[in-house]
């Protein structure tokens, strides 16, 4: 069955899926759309009008974590534990990453010190939880790489891309998280999940918003 992933070049939710597809060496096609000018076929196909969606033949799957679950079933070796309860725990940890991606918008668009401190405080609150999990295991769910780790990959890809633009060390006080980010970023599938010029595109977008983080 043919797979076509519908993407927007810097969408973190898309990056999760691309990283997993690449890691699992599953063949797919990718179609980029402009989210500010959504084509009619996309509006019809995507129930929430969001990317990513995955065409599996004629069938459309939406929601990045659901797409991850599906593509994992296509790989010869599953990245999920066999036990259903453990599978659910793995998925819960994957869901947690969405909360972090959710805070990025406010952290990187805050214009004032007050707004920035508040949203960065939220981000650190999530990072503390991750640091605690990572004190138990090398990866986010276990000592082996699992599907949940791909849900986190875009967090590190994004932070690495914009790092040259500011002095603040977002990993300060989170050594395990920093080490984890290095592990994830070293995966070839994660490296190749970025479109060409990803770092530059992201940096330009960030600068355009003139946020507080760039003024420190």
Ligand X SMILES: N[C@@H](CCC(=O)N[C@@H](CS)C(=O)NCC(=O)O)C(=O)O
Q: How far is the CB of 78 from ligand X (least distance, A)?
A: 21
Q: Does 176 sit near ligand X (CB under 6 A)? A: no
- Report the residue from 35, 88, 132, 168 that binds ligand X according to the rule CB under 6 A: 35
Give first-to-last CA distance, the chain, whole Å.
51
45, 61, 63, 96: which one contacts ligand X (CB under 6 A)? 63
The yes or no reply on residue 11 touching ligand X (CB under 6 A) is: yes
Minimum Å distance from CB 202 to ligand X?
Answer: 12
Q: From CA 17, how far away is CA 154, in angstroms rounded?
A: 10
Looking at 19, 23, 50, 110, which residue binds ligand X (CB under 6 A)?
50
Q: Is residue 154 a contact residue for ligand X (CB under 6 A)?
A: no
Tell me which DSSP letter residue 145 carries: -
Q: Which residues contact 165 (CB under 8 A, 6 or more apart)?
A: 203, 206, 207, 213, 214
Kindly report the number of other CB atoms within 10 A of residue 111's CB atom. Answer: 12
Give the separation between CA 214 and CA 216, rounded to whole angstroms.
6
Largest CA distance in the chain: 51
Q: Which of 4, 8, 185, 187 binds ligand X (CB under 6 A)?
A: 8
Cα–Cα distance, 211 to 205 (Å, whole number): 10
Considering only 22, 64, 97, 119, the residue that binds ligand X (CB under 6 A) is 64
56 or 178, CB closer to ligand X? Answer: 56
Binding site for ligand X (CB under 6 A): 8, 11, 13, 35, 49-52, 63-64
């Amino acid at each position: 069955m043919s797979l076509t992933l519908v993407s927007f070049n810097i969408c973190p939710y898309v990056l999760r899926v691309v990283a997993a597809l690449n890691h699992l060496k599953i063949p797919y096609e990718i179609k980029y759309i402009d989210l500010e000018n959504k084509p009619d076929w996309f509006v019809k196909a995507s129930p929430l009008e969001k990317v990513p969606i995955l065409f599996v033949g004629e069938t459309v799957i939406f929601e990045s974590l659901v797409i991850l679950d599906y593509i994992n079933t296509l790989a010869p070796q599953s990245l999920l534990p066999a036990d259903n309860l453990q599978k659910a725990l793995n998925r819960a940890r994957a869901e947690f990453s969405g909360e972090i991606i959710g805070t990025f918008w406010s952290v990187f668009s805050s214009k004032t010190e007050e707004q920035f401190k508040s949203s960065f405080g939220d981000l650190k609150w999530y990072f503390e939880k991750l640091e605690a999990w990572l004190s138990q295991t090398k990866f986010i769910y276990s000592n082996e790489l699992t599907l949940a780790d791909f849900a986190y990959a875009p967090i590190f890809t994004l932070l690495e891309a914009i790092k040259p633009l500011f002095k603040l060390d977002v990993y300060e006080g989170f050594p395990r998280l920093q080490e984890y980010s290095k592990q994830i970023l070293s995966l070839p599938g994660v490296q190749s999940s970025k479109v060409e010029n990803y770092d530059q595109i992201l940096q330009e977008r960030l600068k355009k918003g003139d946020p507080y983080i760039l003024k420190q």
